[in-house]
Chains A and B, each alone.
Chain A
Amino acid sequence: MHLWLRAAISSDLLLLVTEMVIIGVSLIVFLVLLCFFLGWMERKVAAFMEIRLGPNRVGPMGSMQIVADTVKLLFKEGLTPNASDKFLFNLAPGIMVVTSMLAVAPIAFAKNFQIWDVNIGVLYVSSISSMAVIGILMAGWSSSNKYSLIGAMRSGAQIVSYELSIGLSLISIVILSGSLQLSEIVESQANGWWLFKGHIPVIISFVIFVIASTAEINRAPFDLTEAEQELTGGFHTEYSGMKFAMFLLSEYINLFIVSAIAATIFLGGWMPLHIGTWASFNHIMDFIPSSIWFLGKTFFIIFIIMQFRWTFPRLRIDQLLNLEWKYLLPISMVNIIIVTAMAIFGWHF
């Protein structure tokens, strides 16, 4: 692709700009279509869990329902409250979407198909996701609404504290694979995924990662920023129309990123399922394209996280912070010591 463009465009600056535009546009289109799909999937999973049909009127299987919703949101007036800080109020949804889109860059979608194979991939993703909290705090403060402010504070406290568990659970795999680069982590799983190779400690860190990332992206059962009965709409109470839709968009992109990272780190990314010495079985698995492996694993984890929403009741704020600081954090710290011992003595496969 690069060489082909290089032949067509001679100017250095123009080449860079063209490549950036191509990648940017295709990324945005992909993510928006993905969010349409996730919105539809969310409703269908909800309906499945509650033994209903879900959306079934607009389009086949209700698949056009989300398009109709988007058109409705487009036509809705984007209100800006008089008392709000107008500049920050309008900036906040943009920051939310941009930060969540930035984190997609180092994810390997298929074999040799990656936007930016940065040598600190894991650190990059966690650093970018730590920026999301700024957008939330900005939205909550600039609305000049009590509910928004309290919602933003809770959400901020939640994200800041659960980030620790996410980081520690990712570090356990970084220790085992010896690299922060996502492509190398995927390569290290060629003879088996870390979830199977790493015995019980890796399974523990996988479970911690899924719990903590569900909290980090503010989804149920940790969605107390959006607890209607206490805080109306949390930090986005005052938002309407497309500005609200942008929060929704960033929420779904975050869901995708979290699942993609879990699939890459623990489930081998685009690596097909290989079992030890079963040569013929491994050969058949190699015929399935790597993009299907990656997307299949990602959507499996998305499916699990969506099921949480209809399975567990919402936590209170003190229960939420207790869970993180008194259970998840000590467990993951002890877990890291065990994983380090495993890596040093070579107890994993």
Chain B
Amino acid sequence: MSASIVIFYILAAVIIGGGLLAVTERKIFRSAVYLLFSLIGIAGLYFYLNYEFLGAVQIVVYVGGIVVLIIFSIFLTAESGDDMKKPNLWRVTFSGLATLFACLLVLWLIQGHLFVSNTGTALEPNVRNIGRQMLSTAEHGYILPFEVVSILLLAAMIGCIVIAMKIKPKT
């Protein structure tokens, strides 16, 4: 067994184990921490594939951003230290069925997909190439989705400011 396979299985164990523990844990703060481990494992997978940019972005966005946001919202809501109620059987059954169905769907898709090996020359995934590709208007350029997403984020940001802004009542 080569080193890279060992590393892959360690990463997979961290991702899946973290995900399972995040779902089954009774304390909500601990769930958030397990989710964090799962997300770090995914970032590790990107680093393992030599796609450092996406790995670092994964850590910045999910670990530094979203998990911190989740933790802050847990702090600000009540009873973060108590155990959560046990979900009733009805819910457990249906979420289990939903998970099973999703697993089967993904397996079916993977089985049916023909993995054709790419014959073109590989582009080095450095930031310069990624940036060029993002802003390119030529074929296979991503300028339109890039701009649409940036407008969406701008709208979200302005919305946040409008909600959070205190307007002094006129006297």
Residue ranges of A at the interface with B (Cβ–Cβ < 8 Å): 12-13, 15-17, 85, 87-88, 91, 118-120, 123-124, 126-128, 130-131, 133-134, 137-138, 141-142, 144, 149, 153, 156, 160, 163, 178-180
Partner of B68, one of A17, A91, A118, A133: A133
Q: Which of chain A's residues have a CB closer than 8 A to the CB of B65?
A: 130
**A151 to B28 alpha-carbon distance, docked (Å):** 21
CB contacts under 8 Å to A, within B63-85, are 63-65, 67-68, 71-72, 75, 80-81
Q: Which of chain A's residues have a CB closer than 8 A to the CB of B1?
A: 13
Q: Which of A12, A15, A88, A130 counts the most chain B CB atoms within 10 A? A: A130
Q: A153's closest neighbor in chain B, by CB?
A: B75
| CB–CB A85/B68 < 8 A | no
Report 21 cross-chain contacts, Cβ distance below 8 Å, ordered by A residue: A13-B1, A15-B3, A88-B29, A88-B30, A119-B53, A119-B126, A120-B52, A120-B56, A123-B53, A124-B56, A127-B56, A128-B59, A130-B60, A130-B63, A133-B64, A138-B33, A141-B75, A153-B72, A153-B75, A160-B68, A179-B128
| Known A13-B2, A120-B53, A180-B127: A127·B64 in contact at CB below 8 Å | yes
| CB–CB A120/B127 < 8 A | yes
**A87 to B75 alpha-carbon distance, docked (Å):** 18
B6 sits at the interface (CB 8 A)? yes
**A130 to B64 alpha-carbon distance, docked (Å):** 5
Partner of B3, one of A12, A144, A178: A12
Partner of B52, one of A124, A142, A160: A124
| CB–CB B53/A13 < 8 A | no
B15 sits at the interface (CB 8 A)? no
| CB–CB A130/B59 < 8 A | yes
| CB–CB B30/A87 < 8 A | yes
| CB–CB A137/B30 < 8 A | no
Q: Is the interface of B mostly helix, strand, loop or mixed?
A: helix
| CB–CB A12/B2 < 8 A | yes
Q: Which of chain B's residues have a CB closer than 8 A to the CB of A118?
A: 52
Q: How many residues of B contact A (CB 8 A)?
A: 29
Partner of B67, one of A134, A153, A180: A134
| Known A85-B27, A180-B127: A126·B36 in contact at CB below 8 Å | no
Q: How far is the CB of B79 from chain A (nearest CB, A)?
A: 13
**A290 to B27 alpha-carbon distance, docked (Å):** 51
| CB–CB B64/A141 < 8 A | no
Interface bits B130-148 vs A (CB < 8 Å: 1, else 0): 0000000000000000000
Q: Which of chain A's residues have a CB closer than 8 A to the CB of B36?
A: 134
Q: Which of chain A's residues have a CB closer than 8 A to the CB of B64?
A: 127, 130-131, 133, 163
| CB–CB B68/A134 < 8 A | yes
| Known A17-B3, A123-B53, A124-B56: A131·B63 in contact at CB below 8 Å | yes
| CB–CB A119/B127 < 8 A | yes
Q: Which of chain A's residues have a CB closer than 8 A to the CB of B33?
A: 88, 91, 134, 138
**A126 to B29 alpha-carbon distance, docked (Å):** 25
Q: How far is the CB of A185 from chain B (nearest CB, A)?
A: 13
Q: How far is the CB of A117 from chain B (nearest CB, A)?
A: 11
Q: How far is the CB of A345 from chain B (nearest CB, A)?
A: 20
Q: Which of chain A's residues have a CB closer than 8 A to the CB of B57?
A: 123, 127
Q: How far is the CB of A136 from chain B (nearest CB, A)?
A: 10
Q: How far is the CB of B57 from chain A (nearest CB, A)?
A: 8
Q: How far is the CB of A128 from chain B (nearest CB, A)?
A: 7
| CB–CB B29/A141 < 8 A | yes
**A265 to B80 alpha-carbon distance, docked (Å):** 42
| CB–CB B80/A141 < 8 A | yes
Q: How far is the CB of A103 from chain B (nearest CB, A)?
A: 11
Q: How far is the CB of B102 from chain A (nearest CB, A)?
A: 28
Q: Which of chain A's residues have a CB closer than 8 A to the CB of B63?
A: 127, 130-131, 134
Partner of A127, one of B2, B3, B60: B60
**A127 to B71 alpha-carbon distance, docked (Å):** 18
**A131 to B67 alpha-carbon distance, docked (Å):** 10
Q: How far is the CB of B161 from chain A (nearest CB, A)?
A: 12
| Known A127-B59, A133-B68: A16·B3 in contact at CB below 8 Å | yes
Partner of A13, one of B6, B52, B68, B75: B6
Q: Which of chain B's residues have a CB closer than 8 A to the CB of A13?
A: 1-3, 6
Q: Which of chain B's residues have a CB closer than 8 A to the CB of A141?
A: 29, 71, 75, 80
Q: Which of chain B's residues have a CB closer than 8 A to the CB of A91?
A: 33
Q: How far is the CB of A101 from chain B (nearest CB, A)?
A: 15
Q: Which of chain A's residues have a CB closer than 8 A to the CB of B30?
A: 85, 87-88
Q: B30's closest neighbor in chain A, by CB?
A: A88
Q: How far is the CB of A141 from chain B (nearest CB, A)?
A: 6
Q: Which of chain A's residues have a CB closer than 8 A to the CB of B40?
A: 131
| CB–CB A149/B75 < 8 A | yes
Q: Which of chain A's residues have a CB closer than 8 A to the CB of B60?
A: 123, 126-127, 130
| Known A130-B64, A133-B64: A85·B29 in contact at CB below 8 Å | yes
